[in-house]
Amino acid sequence: EAQVTQNPRYLITVTGKKLTVTCSQNMNHEYMSWYRQDPGLGLRQIYYSMNVEVTDKGDVPEGYKVSRKEKRNFPLILESPSPNQTSLYFCASSPGTEYSNQPQHFGDGTRLSIL
Amino acid sequence: GQQVMQIPQYQHVQEGEDFTTYCNSSTTLSNIQWYKQRPGGHPVFLIQLVKSGEVKKQKRLTFQFGEAKKNSSLHITATQTTDVGTYFCAPGANNLFFGTGTRLTVIP
């Protein structure tokens, strides 16, 4: 089954404790991205990746890191989480190339609470 | 990133009434996508519009792209409880920037 898998689905942690949210897709998609969703603000893009070893900042990259060492995986890293990063996070992928858009397939989301 | 305003932010309708959400941009868009997110779920792709003045239909849903490619709308005819959710527009070129969404509540 074609899917985007995020882990964990839920996490409660404390300020400053490094964490990684994993994202994996099995559709051989080139494009992957991370969004955070906050009430009243919709979905805001954190980082995106056009292909392996190619990543770019989205709208709200501060406090986050990503890597794209393999095509299927795009982990989101919070080196020193803070309470303002408490949010619902979505990973998405699409077969998009640089000059076109394709529908994005979203994971089920990861709800992070930073205390 | 690209700025889009989506209105209204919330809409409550009686089942059977129509519903429309609008997405407006100050700049010309190359294309626009629409997504639906059910409560507790993740965004799901509905459609993509590319051409100026394009109109596409999916059963009771009608999507329009403005002639100037600066605005778009989603219209639902005779809403049903299954239409409940948040509808997002997402314009973009190399990457997508989502509108703030319109949350639709359908009262049975």
Q: What is the pLDDT of residues A73-104, one digit of tens each?
A: 999 999 999 999 999 999 999 887 654 568 88
- Tell which B residues from 50 to 89 touch A, by Cβ distance under 8 Å: 88
Strand-pairing partners, residue A114, are: A13
Question: What residues in chain B have per-residue pLDDT under 50?
Answer: none
Largest CA distance in chain A: 41
Are A21 and A101 in contact by the 8 Å Cβ rule? The answer is no
- Asked whether the beta carbons of residue A45 and residue B95 sit closer than 8 angstroms, the reply is yes
Residue A10 Cα distances to A111, B20, B27, B59, B94, angstroms: 5, 34, 38, 36, 30
| Cis-peptide, bond into residue B8, ω within 30° of zero | yes
Q: Which of B23, B45, B96 to mutate to test the interface with A (most CBs of A within 10 A)?
A: B96
Across the range A18-33, mean pLDDT stands at 95
> What pLDDT does residue A73 have?
98
CA-wise closest residue to B47 among B55, B93, B39: B55
CA nearest neighbour of B34 among B65, B69, B10, B13:
B65
Residue A97: predicted pLDDT: 62
CB pairs under 8 A between A and B: 60
Chain B residues closer than 8 Å to A107 by CB? 42
Distance from C-alpha of B93 to C-alpha of A101, rounded to nearest angstrom: 6
Three-class HEC string of B59-92: CCEEEEECCCCCEEEEEECCCCHHHCEEEEEEEE
A36: confidence class by pLDDT, cuts 50, 70, 90:
very high
Task: Give the pLDDT mean for A65-73.
Answer: 97
**Mean of the pLDDT values across residues A31-47?**
92
Please provide the average confidence, as pLDDT, over all residues in chain A: 93
Secondary structure of residue A21 in the 3-state scheme = strand
Give pLDDT, residue B4. 84
Residue linked to tokens 């949210």 = A21
Q: Provide the shortest C-alpha distance from residue A54 to chain B (in Å).
A: 13
Q: For residue A30, what is the DSSP state?
A: S
pLDDT of residue B99: 85
Question: Which site among A101, A102, A110 would you substitute to test the B interface, given the most B Cβ atoms closer than 10 Å to its Cβ?
Answer: A101
Residue A45 with chain B: CB contacts under 8 Å? 1, 95-98
Q: Which of A104, A105, A110, A111 to mutate to test the interface with B (most CBs of B within 10 A)?
A: A104
| Residues A24-37 as b or e (16 or more Cβ within 10 Å = b) | bbeeebbbbbbbbb
Distance between CA atoms of residues A2 and B68, nearest Å: 36
A88 touches chain B (CB under 8 A): no
Tokens (6 digits) for A42:
């919709």
Who wins on pLDDT, B3 or A66?
A66
Tell which A residues from 59 to 78 touch B, by Cβ distance under 8 Å: 59
As a whole-number percent, the residues of chain A with pLDDT over 90 amount to 81
Q: Is residue B39 classed exposed, middle or buried when 0-12, 13-18 and 19+ CB atoms within 10 A define those classes?
A: exposed
The per-residue DSSP string of A73-101 comes to B--EEESS--GGG-EEEEEEEE---TT--
CA atoms of B19 and A115, how far apart (whole Å): 39
Q: Which two tokens stand for residue B42?
A: 């993740």
* A48–B42 C-beta distance less than 8 A: no
Length of chain B: 108
